[in-house]
């Protein structure tokens, strides 16, 4: 047996455990990220490359802690939080999470609607409805075929997203020196701070934090202490691979905009950016971008609805039919589209609303995974605990800043 075959055989147990982080990572490449990263590149060139990298590194820690809670404590984050709250507090906590879920779905449905308009000229309301129906079909497949099949579908869409947003880089690669210079942390005026906060707010999303604990719990169930080490090692690989792919896609969005859209007027919307890419890079690159956006909207909408169902069950102990659960967040998004709202403005507003939910997810996550009463010997070590609180505090502060700057502007 060759050395390569031995290595592949040794990696098979780890490979078989990959998947949950890839589902959660869809939240990191949703239409909100597209809008934020394109705006960053178009307005500030390569200045904020470092924000994408920093946000991705923070996301790695956050998602690992969420999965760790599901594996070690066999609890979802909503279950763990709900068990420590009184009934009125649980209902209030669920209320804010549901509002955040609606804002999340608004971004995903708008993204799908814009993509279908760019590809086929469909009216936004029809595109939004189609996005909702397809995401519902994906959830129906999950209920019938199981989580692994759902993971495979989402991973397939993630691959389409990656190709769609990275195609322009292959056609017109940016200057390596300018990209490297963008790794130096700095800002240029209050506008760049606002964009940076929006990028971070669009990256670390509450429903992904809630969801990953549930994905890990559903995949592995109750885990014997002797198996935890192997599962946690596999989870680190899972999170590392998934976040590296999501980070590459986010970076590609920014680099494409920085390379081709800087100084171009009319690119403050996804439609305008698509038109500019078609003119400057070519129609094939624009087509790939639209297909990537469609895959993003479809995948993130189904994942968001999955997270909403898990949050409701964990906090309220309620399980409702799939159709009702899907409609709960889809209908408000369709109503906003039907009222003729500016889709780009609605997309930005949804990210601001999401910012309100960040502290409610991150602070309990770090607190619970650092508690020996919950995690036993697997509780966060002092360095991890300190880093977790630093990340939670920084992300929360930047999201508060995003809300303040948006209100001020």
- pLDDT value at position 86? 94
Residue 236 lies in a domain: yes
CA distance 293 to 290: 5
120 three-class SS: helix
- pLDDT value at position 375? 95
- Alpha helix ranges (H) inside 261-381: 270-280, 283-316, 322-338, 343-369, 372-375
- pLDDT value at position 7? 45
- Alpha helix ranges (H) inside 73-189: 77-82, 87-120, 124-145, 147-171, 176-181
212 three-class SS: helix
Residue found by looking up tokens 């809630």 in the block? 210
Q: How many domains does the chain have?
A: 1
- pLDDT value at position 131? 94
CA distance 333 to 107: 8
Residue 5 lies in a domain: no
Residue 1 lies in a domain: no
- pLDDT value at position 12? 54
CA distance 184 to 311: 38
Residue 36 lies in a domain: yes
Rounded to two decimals, what is the model's pTM? 0.91
Return averaged pLDDT per consecutive 10 residues of the chain, 409 residues in all: 47 64 90 85 92 92 96 94 94 91 88 95 95 90 86 92 91 91 88 79 81 89 79 92 93 92 81 90 94 94 88 87 78 91 81 82 96 95 95 84 72
Residue 375 lies in a domain: yes
> How deeply is 62 buried, as exposed, middle or buried, from its count of CB atoms within 10 A (0-12, 13-18, 19+)?
buried
Tell me which residue range forms the domain holding 275.
19-178+187-408
Residue 89 lies in a domain: yes
Q: What is the CATH number of the domain that holds 285?
A: 1.20.1740.10
Residue 4 lies in a domain: no
- pLDDT value at position 110? 92
Return the number of other C-beta atoms located less than 10 Å from residue 317's C-beta.
10
Output the six-digit token pair for 214: 């549930």
CA distance 386 to 273: 40
């Amino acid at each position: 047996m060759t050395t390569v075959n031995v290595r592949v055989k040794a990696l098979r147990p780890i490979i078989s455990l990959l998947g949950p982080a890839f589902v959660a990572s869809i939240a990191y490449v949703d239409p909100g990220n597209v809008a934020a990263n394109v705006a960053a590149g178009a307005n500030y060139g390569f200045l904020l490359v470092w924000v994408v990298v920093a946000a991705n590194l923070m996301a790695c820690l956050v998602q690992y802690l969420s999965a760790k809670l599901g594996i070690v404590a066999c609890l979802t984050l909503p279950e763990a939080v709900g068990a420590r709250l009184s009934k009125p507090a649980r209902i209030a906590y669920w209320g804010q999470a549901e509002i955040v879920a609606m804002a999340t779905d608004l971004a995903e449905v708008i993204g799908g609607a814009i993509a279908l308009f760019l590809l086929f000229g469909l009216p936004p309301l029809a595109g939004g409805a189609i996005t909702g129906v397809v995401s519902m079909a994906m959830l129906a497949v999950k209920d019938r075929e199981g989580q692994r099949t759902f993971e495979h579908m989402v991973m397939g869409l993630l691959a389409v997203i990656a190709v769609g947003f990275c195609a322009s880089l292959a056609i017109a690669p940016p200057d390596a020196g300018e990209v490297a210079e963008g790794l130096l942390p700095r800002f240029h005026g209050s506008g760049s701070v606002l964009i940076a906060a929006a990028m971070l707010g669009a990256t670390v999303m509450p429903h992904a934090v809630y969801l990953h604990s549930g994905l890990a719990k559903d995949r592995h169930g109750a885990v014997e202490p002797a198996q935890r080490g192997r599962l946690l090692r596999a989870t680190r690989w899972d999170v590392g691979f998934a976040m590296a792919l999501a980070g590459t896609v986010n970076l590609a969005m920014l680099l494409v905009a920085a390379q081709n859209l800087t100084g171009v007027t009319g690119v403050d919307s996804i439609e305008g950016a698509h038109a500019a890419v078609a003119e400057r890079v070519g129609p094939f690159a624009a087509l790939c971008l639209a297909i990537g956006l469609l895959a993003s909207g479809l995948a993130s909408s189904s994942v968001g609805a999955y997270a909403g169902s898990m949050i409701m069950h964990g906090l309220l102990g309620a399980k409702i039919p799939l159709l009702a659960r899907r409609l709960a967040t889809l209908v408000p998004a369709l109503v906003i589209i039907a009222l003729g709202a500016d889709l780009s403005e609605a997309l930005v507003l949804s990210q601001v609303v999401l910012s309100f939910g960040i502290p409610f997810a991150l602070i309990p996550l770090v607190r619970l995974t650092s508690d020996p009463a919950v995690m036993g010997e697997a509780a966060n070590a002092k360095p991890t605990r300190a880093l977790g609180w630093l990340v939670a505090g920084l992300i929360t502060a930047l999201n508060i800043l995003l809300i303040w700057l948006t209100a001020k502007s």
